[in-house]
Structure 1
């Protein structure tokens, strides 16, 4: 999880310039308390001065950036995450994908990404930790949204590469979800990848064994781990030996249809895993989620 320890965030106005030398960050936004930090950098609460909109401000140190990209009109490269999020925004965005509102270069320090910040939400890790394993109808509601959002992401040439419970936020009022943190993302390609910056326990056997994987089978394997996590309350594999065995042991009573879908996603051979479209047409995915809100009841609304 995110490290919630305090981190200082002081930037002089003249230090920060955005794309195409627009107004400095401090003229457009105010920055508040730290929300969390980790390998990706630090995230702070923030506010857009023009209208008071609540935002999240992600600070990335240049030393932590492993992939860079070129943007039109920019003399210097930017982190791949900025390029990917800008691409998804330019094609209209998706309700299930966090939107980047702005970004700034911090001279000598790194970058600031201004992200939309859904209110009254928490990440799926905390959601499951507080409530335990999710009822299948609720898991279906969440999982279907994630898969649909990933179809949009892939359709526009982006692969996330770090799908996990910590990178999904849930609006506790509406149960709508968003995929966040594209820091491990890359342009989608059909040929294998030889680098991986995601989370080891969500990585597939082919990466553990040969340090190579393809975009869709990686994504679908991670989705299988995530669905198991939702309905059982914890991930199926902790060690490399368990990953390469690719045989999840169900710790709770789960419907045969749900077990079938998880096992399909966690097929040992990448070519045996479904596509995202095949996943959506699985019998469990076509189930009914309408009764879930009544069963789930009123949810508390913790702040981010």
Structure 2
């Protein structure tokens, strides 16, 4: 079990401050892609082979949770511990991979992350195209749920699942979950702190400032699915969240509405599990060949830098 006291990882796979070569000898940092609540993200590349990467800088005074890694003298941000744990077991195609990390005097910590060359976060993807067809939304949701199952199997909870933290490869339409700045070790007991995004938080957090990891994740998935098929999130105000009654702004299939309402059940115990989502009737469908060809034709001219929230 991963916790704040120790994280087991192979230090040969994930380089920390014990590495002999400094960051500047291995990577070149490029332009600022943007800033988020947990740090700034820059473009960059690996000097040995030119691999394009994203470099996330985290100031020590902005770190909310710390962890201990074997072989390291000091504490490291929980985000590094979680990503290192996931890398240790081989990673997952639907989760951003940590390639390197460094502690740099005066700059805090630098995380070197994989960066698909032609990618865009889901927020911008939806902003440019409007609401997604159900077939494409289903394709994205299936990948996200499978990635979340991997996180669950490794005792990790993301806690900030939203469109800005989903990276879409515009060439393959594969997606990755990014930004583990709000992540935490998975536990069976309730959480009493929340560092995610308010409009994606469930009623139990708004009303009693506590939640369980599973129901939180499912609620966020319901908000995300609504966002994909309707073009915007269902709730903006706390009162709307606790009412837990989405008002559909587009014509959707009965099955799609059913899955969204199930995920957005007011009572945490009434929400589905990740496995139940995958077996829901709406998830049996997929994009037709004609739809995929239309999507292929619409990708041109849509490329941009990835989100700054890695």
Could you say which TM-score interval applies, normalised by the shorter chain?
A: over 0.9
How far residue 296 of structure 1 moved from its aligned partner, in angstroms, is 2.0
Q: Does 1:24 align with 2:25?
A: no
Gaps of 5+ in 1: 1-16
How far residue 209 of structure 1 moved from its aligned partner, in angstroms, is 0.3
Task: Determine helix, strand or coil for the equivalent of 1:84.
Answer: helix
Q: Which residue in 1 is equivalent to 2:275? A: 277
Q: How does 1:35-54 map to 2 (within 5 A)?
A: 35-54=33-52
How far residue 295 of structure 1 moved from its aligned partner, in angstroms, is 3.3
Q: Does 1:151 align with 2:149?
A: yes
Q: Which residue in 1 is equivalent to 2:161? A: 163
How far residue 18 of structure 1 moved from its aligned partner, in angstroms, is 4.0
How far residue 136 of structure 1 moved from its aligned partner, in angstroms, is 0.3
Q: Distance in 1 between matches of 2:261 and 2:35?
A: 33
How far residue 289 of structure 1 moved from its aligned partner, in angstroms, is 2.5
- Larger CA deviation: 256-265 vs 107-116: 107-116
**Two-structure CA RMSD over aligned residues (Å):** 1.1
How far residue 243 of structure 1 moved from its aligned partner, in angstroms, is 0.1
Task: Write the deviation string for residues 55-78 of structure 1: whole angstroms up to 9, x where unpaired.
Answer: 000000111100000000111000
- Residues matched between the structures, number: 288
Q: How does 1:111-190 map to 2 (within 5 A)?
A: 111-190=109-188
Task: Write the deviation string for residues 118-170 of structure 1: whole angstroms up to 9, x where unpaired.
Answer: 11110000000000000000101111100100000111110000000000010
Query: TM-score normalized by structure 1?
Result: 0.93
The answer (yes or no) to whether the contact 2:136–2:286 under 8 Å persists in 1 is no
Task: Write the deviation string for residues 14-72 of structure 1: whole angstroms up to 9, x where unpaired.
Answer: xxx94214210000000100111121110000010001100000000111100000000
The answer (yes or no) to whether the contact 1:119–1:303 under 8 Å persists in 2 is no
Q: Which residue in 2 is equivalent to 1:100? A: 98
The answer (yes or no) to whether the contact 2:57–2:107 under 8 Å persists in 1 is no
Gaps of 5+ in 2: 1-14, 306-310
Q: Distance in 1 between matches of 2:134 and 2:153?
A: 28
Q: Which residue in 2 is equivalent to 1:296? A: 295
The answer (yes or no) to whether the contact 1:18–1:25 under 8 Å persists in 2 is no
Q: Distance in 1 between matches of 2:164 and 2:64?
A: 21
Query: TM-score normalized by structure 2?
Result: 0.91
Runs of 4+ in 1 over 4 A off after TM superposition: none
Higher relative contact order, structure no. (Cα contacts within 8 Å, ≥ 6 residues apart): 2
Q: How does 1:81-100 map to 2 (within 5 A)?
A: 81-100=79-98
